[in-house]
Structure 1
């Protein structure tokens, strides 16, 4: 997703000179943010699943 947005910005700048900037830093930070969010989501889901299994056993 981030790569497509950066490519669109580059294309718009080449075609229409709209002043958008293609930055590799944006790709890197967006990828890190997405990976971190996925990791947090995955950990949260495992914790919720484990807590529901424990409460069902009691």
Structure 2
């Protein structure tokens, strides 16, 4: 997903963000690449991609 924006996910750099909201992780990735993207939109796109992958494999996604 990040490749379409010319970005890569650096797992080592993100270790300190474990447990952070998705938008915060997106914000860190965007800042590291000096990109002009909205972290909330990027996080929402990531969530849709994960939901799509889960649903494609027969799993269901529910909100608590």
Could you say which TM-score interval applies, normalised by the shorter chain? 0.3 to 0.5
Structure ranking higher in helix proportion = 1
Using CA pairs under 8 Å that are at least 6 residues apart, name the structure with larger relative contact order, 1 or 2.
1
> What TM-score comes out, normalization by structure 1 length?
0.40
From the CA coordinates, give the structure whose radius of gyration is larger: 1
> What TM-score comes out, normalization by structure 2 length?
0.37
